[in-house]
Amino acid sequence: MKALKFLPLAIALVITGCGQKTPPAAEAVPAAPAQAAAPAAAPAAAPAVSAAGTGDLVKGEQVYTSTCLACHGAGVLGAPKFGDKALWGPRIAQGIDTLHTNALNGIRMMPPKGGNAALKDEDVKAAVDYMVSKAS
């Protein structure tokens, strides 16, 4: 029972730790060239991933490292661990739009934008795309 006294404090510390770092100033990243239409035999997970270019994934990795890693790196409070296909699979199956909406607005214990309100919507989406690309 003594451990339960500290549970609210532990949760508060974890939540305040998520997203406190402000990402470094964005460097200009050239836009990726347009890609040709997807081949007919695309992998099953392909429709769930948005058409993120290489620049988007680079930005996504930066945002993930500065904001999302604190919770998704260790699976804090039920966050799906980075790269864990078993945990991400059902989420990816819901579609990328649902994942983007959940990241932007928050879901369960995850605060909106991972707790970093300074992030642009595009940056949050890029971080989601990056995490999905590593779990597909």
C-alpha atoms less than 13 angstroms from C-alpha of 9 in its C-beta half-sphere: 5
Q: pLDDT of 56-85, one tens digit each?
A: 889 989 999 999 999 999 988 889 999 999
Please check whether residue 31 lies inside any domain of the structure.
no
Q: In this structure, are residues 115 and 20 in contact, taking their beta carbons and an 8 Å threshold?
A: yes
Please check whether residue 32 lies inside any domain of the structure.
no
CATH of the domain at 59: 1.10.760.10
Indicate the pLDDT class of residue 11, thresholds 50, 70 and 90. Answer: low
Please check whether residue 38 lies inside any domain of the structure.
no
Q: In this structure, are residues 91 and 85 in contact, taking their beta carbons and an 8 Å threshold?
A: no
The domain in which residue 112 lies consists of 53-136
37 phi/psi in degrees, rounded to 5: -55, 145
The number of distinct structural domains making up the chain is 1
pTM (2 d.p.): 0.62
Q: pLDDT of 95-131, one tens digit each?
A: 999 999 999 999 999 999 999 999 999 999 999 999 9
Please check whether residue 90 lies inside any domain of the structure.
yes
Please check whether residue 48 lies inside any domain of the structure.
no
